Structure 1
Amino acid sequence: YLLRDKSKLLGLFSLSLTKVVGIHPECKIFHQVVKEEALCLEKNDSVSSDLKGCSTDWDGLTCWPRATFGEVVKVPCPRIFEEITNIHGFLQRNCTQEAYWSEPFPPYTVACGFDEGSSKGPEDQKSYYSAFWRVYTAGYAASVTSLITALIVFAAFRKFHCTRNYIHMHLFVSFILRAIAVFIKDAVLFADETMDHCLMSTVACKAAVAFFQFSILANFFWLLIEGIYLQTLLLLTFVSDRQYVWWFIFTGWGGPTAVMFAWVLTRIHRQNTGCWDDDENGVLLWIIKGPILLTVLINFVIFINVIRILVHKLKSQEGGGSHSSHFVRLAKSTLLLIPLFGVHYIVFAFFPESTGLEARLYIELGLGSFQGFVVALLYCFSNAEVQSELKKQICKWQYQQYLNFIHKQRILSRENSPVNYVTQLSLLEKISPKRKTSIYLNSVTSV
């Protein structure tokens, strides 16, 4: 019963923590359980064997201290349960006169906040989170397709070769890398369901996780570059923006590279365990989380400042005009900036991974995986210049196809006309003198 209960509960908690986030909480649970088991066995070895009663027992989730005959031992629920359910329950076991431990009462599922009668079972949870997996897979696939198309559009037309679009293209590349990194990470760590990725420690899985972390960093850094560039345009109207392009490129790619270099070296020398997708003490994660949080905070400040500047500019331009037009234009600008700056990430920045899990899943999957698609839509496909240029190219292509069709029709009509037949005969006569003489003699004979 205890082993069955243990596997069911650990599976439930593992499924309750999505693998979309960079560090996998289920590995943290696994390593925490292993540590507590080792500590429990050490306690058992240190206790004298002369004592009568029930010995120290590890039931797979909790360590039960030594007890005398008839004693009822009360222990709190494992910390891994409390971190997710926020329920501080207690379990009890009785040491029988035969020196056997009784089963825990109440059961883990009831005492620790997972009552099977009122909550989803493991199969329901698996189906639920499998649906989430399909959602973010479709989201990243749509993002990659739309972003590659947007890159081709910006690169194909010289009209779009400007600083603004260069920065957009680098942002598109960062989103593409992020989506590809998610697919690679899932393929390496979760392709084989029979293998426990928490026990893996190969170069391939470490490289996949490192590439995933780099893509996340690059994504946030280029979101910051977009914010800084927009702020520069609003404040420094008459300054040429081309002089800043290389600084933007250096910051957008150099910053994540430097952070990843420091993180990889620290992992190699301090915590070179597993696939680098776990963090035992939570300190190493801040090497990556700190810069990301800093970029989000800076973008949040820029976001507020840009809104303030836009409100001021719109008021001064309208001069007491229609309020509805003012709010519509401001709403369009705001909707353009929200997916750009990633302001929604600030909501959960200072909360633990287990806080607001359901809301975090919807935000990470809904706005995270489809964010690249939204950015491509806003900055390329819904752009009036892009639409106008594409319409011109389509009309030019259609006109060229029409001209080709007319040309072919004229050629066919000439080939099938009587005049063309006579012309062809005259050409043959010029080419073949013998044929010409033969025709002449036949005509004389007939006369």
Structure 2
Amino acid sequence: MGMRLWKDMQQIVGAGFTHDTGLPTWFEVAKATFLQETYQKWLLYKDDCVKMIETELVPQGGLFCNRTFDRYACWPDTPADSMVNISCPFYLPWFDKVSQGVVRRSCGPTGIWDEDDNGQVWRDKSQCEDELEVTAQELWLKQLMVSFRMLYTIGYSLSLSTLTMALIILLSFRKLHCTRNYIHANFFLSFILRAVSVIVKDTMLERHWGREIVKHSDVSDMLSHQAAIGCRIAQVMMQYCVLANHHWCFGEALYLYYVLIASVFIDNNKLLPYICVGWGMPVLFVVPWVVMKLLKENKECWAFNENMNYWWIIRCPILFASLINFMIFLRVIKVILSKLRASSNQRGYPDYKLRLAKATLTLIPLFGIHELIFIFATDEQTTGLLRYIKVFFTLFLNSFQGFIVAVLYCYANKEVRSELKRKSHNWRTEAVLMCCGQ
């Protein structure tokens, strides 16, 4: 089976798709679906050809080239010293455009198929090739996807670096060890794991669908369950990390709610309930989703949701946490507003509205309020320009949210800054004493 043909096949299944990593899942889904449908049609074409080869009668008398299937087209017995034309194979994705075209072969005077200069059987398939015209819209879309990738790569890289340093700071200084900062530390860790899991998932998808096709078994291997194990595990881990990130966002909201509003009902020094909410509850939703995928949609890398009802197993807790966070956000803002008003009346501070706006903007990334912008604009409901707008805001806000949270609740935190200044002063003093001692 020729490598030349399978390079042709790879061009077929790869035509019109970008191999950029980090793009929204539906690009990988489209590519996977495209490959599988083309391969299934090719298998059907091959089976029909094999039946023809086995059942048709052999011509009587004279020289002729034997019927054959060259992995691209099905060729009948052909008289010597003649040209044979057959219709373009129906499995070609662009068959509608070339249905009137033909692919040709030449049978030599000795009854052997003619070869080209490279020793391969000559074949003219120019009429069956698709003219890939890059339109202005396609060029714009490609540039848009490259911009999206650059955007959220910068966002996640910046978030990873700032969150990692913020996590080290919170855990290194003993005076910063308290329930509030422990919750912040777990929240930071959930952002880190979310960013890493998204990057790993994209890499695994690209590795799975970007492999080179050089022989017959490569396509079937690519579509097998064994080949998809790695990207499925990455998909599961990403879903868990995304859920954990939302649940730790929910935990942050609960802690602030109990501190400001319902402190008499809970012991705020206990971290275990928040750990159960942040790291434990996502398991209750990821496991059923995995079971339903195994039983009902066990295809490729589990990136495509044929039955959206199963996807609600993941979507529901995220929507629920976002809505509860929004209600807590409103309650907390109301409490802050009343306290600022009382303080301004007692001390004569007229700028309480500015302070309220500052507090509101500070709480938005902590509570994940930005999730409500497209909370009801689901993937199956958004098309065209609205979909690109949603993708942009989702990628931008999700990738930079970790950076914003790290800055607001670590680097800009007065307690953290004073501790860093104190430690820095102590280190300088120790350095001076060591120098003087020497």
Gaps of 5+ in 1: 46-56, 65-102, 110-114, 409-447
Select the residue among 264, 273, 276 that pairs with 1:247. 273
Counterpart-to-counterpart distance in 2, 1:194 and 1:305: 49
* Aligned-pair CA distance for 1:261: 1.1
Counterpart-to-counterpart distance in 1, 2:93 and 2:350: 64
For 1:260, the equivalent position in structure 2 comes to: 286
For 1:157, the equivalent position in structure 2 comes to: 173
Q: After superposition, where does 1:418-429 map in structure 2 within 5 Å?
A: none
Q: Is the 8 A contact 2:32 2:209 kept in 1?
A: no
Counterpart-to-counterpart distance in 2, 1:258 and 1:299: 20
For 1:189, the equivalent position in structure 2 comes to: 205
Select the residue among 398, 410, 423 that pairs with 1:393. 423
Q: Deviations over 1:100-143 (max 9, x none)?
A: xxx9xxx999xxxxx93x5352xx53343223222222221221
Q: Is the 8 A contact 1:336 1:378 kept in 2?
A: yes
Q: Is the 8 A contact 2:255 2:268 kept in 1?
A: no
Q: Is the 8 A contact 1:189 1:205 kept in 2?
A: yes
Percent identity between the two aligned chains:
34
Q: After superposition, where does 1:275-290 map in structure 2 within 5 Å?
A: 275-290=301-316
Structure 1 residues 222 and 269: alpha-carbon distance in aligned structure 2, compared to 1, 3 A threshold: same
Q: Is the 8 A contact 1:37 1:63 kept in 2?
A: no
Gaps of 5+ in 2: 1-8, 49-89, 98-127, 213-218
Select the residue among 6, 11, 18 that pairs with 2:17. 11
Counterpart-to-counterpart distance in 1, 2:223 and 2:158: 33
Q: Specify the SS of the correspondent of 2:17.
A: helix
Q: Deviations over 1:209-245 (max 9, x none)?
A: 1101111000001101111111111113456634542
Counterpart-to-counterpart distance in 2, 1:108 and 1:301: 52
For 2:33, the equivalent position in structure 1 comes to: 31
Q: Is the 8 A contact 1:231 1:302 kept in 2?
A: yes
2:192 maps to 1:180: no
For 1:379, the equivalent position in structure 2 comes to: 409
* Aligned-pair CA distance for 1:378: 0.8
Structure 1 residues 38 and 314: alpha-carbon distance in aligned structure 2, compared to 1, 3 A threshold: same
For 1:210, the equivalent position in structure 2 comes to: 236
Q: Is the 8 A contact 1:178 1:215 kept in 2?
A: yes
Structure 1 residues 274 and 34: alpha-carbon distance in aligned structure 2, compared to 1, 3 A threshold: closer
For 2:93, the equivalent position in structure 1 comes to: 60
Counterpart-to-counterpart distance in 1, 2:397 and 2:289: 27
Q: After superposition, where does 1:204-243 map in structure 2 within 5 Å?
A: 204-238=230-264, 241-242=267-268
Q: What's the TM-score once normalised by structure 1's chain length?
A: 0.67
For 1:68, the equivalent position in structure 2 comes to: none
Q: Deviations over 1:2-32 (max 9, x none)?
A: x9xx9898538x98xx9555x4354157538
For 1:73, the equivalent position in structure 2 comes to: none
Q: Is the 8 A contact 1:259 1:287 kept in 2?
A: yes
Q: Specify the SS of the correspondent of 1:11.
A: coil
* Aligned-pair CA distance for 1:203: 1.5
Q: After superposition, where does 1:245-324 map in structure 2 within 5 Å?
A: 245-319=271-345, 324=350
* Aligned-pair CA distance for 1:340: 1.1
* Aligned-pair CA distance for 1:187: 2.1
Structure 1 residues 282 and 210: alpha-carbon distance in aligned structure 2, compared to 1, 3 A threshold: same
RMSD: 3.8
Counterpart-to-counterpart distance in 2, 1:242 and 1:195: 52
Q: Is the 8 A contact 1:33 1:61 kept in 2?
A: no
Q: Deviations over 1:372-414 (max 9, x none)?
A: 1111111111000110110011111111111111111xxxxxx
Counterpart-to-counterpart distance in 2, 1:241 and 1:58: 66
Aligned length: 345
* Aligned-pair CA distance for 1:366: 1.9
Q: What's the TM-score once normalised by structure 2's chain length?
A: 0.68
Structure 1 residues 345 and 389: alpha-carbon distance in aligned structure 2, compared to 1, 3 A threshold: same
Q: Is the 8 A contact 2:152 2:395 kept in 1?
A: yes
Structure 1 residues 275 and 193: alpha-carbon distance in aligned structure 2, compared to 1, 3 A threshold: closer
For 2:372, the equivalent position in structure 1 comes to: 346
Structure 1 residues 191 and 126: alpha-carbon distance in aligned structure 2, compared to 1, 3 A threshold: farther
* Aligned-pair CA distance for 1:368: 1.0
After TM superposition, the structure 1 stretch with the greater mean CA deviation from structure 2, 129-138 or 389-398, is 129-138
Q: Specify the SS of the correspondent of 1:337.
A: helix
* Aligned-pair CA distance for 1:58: 7.8
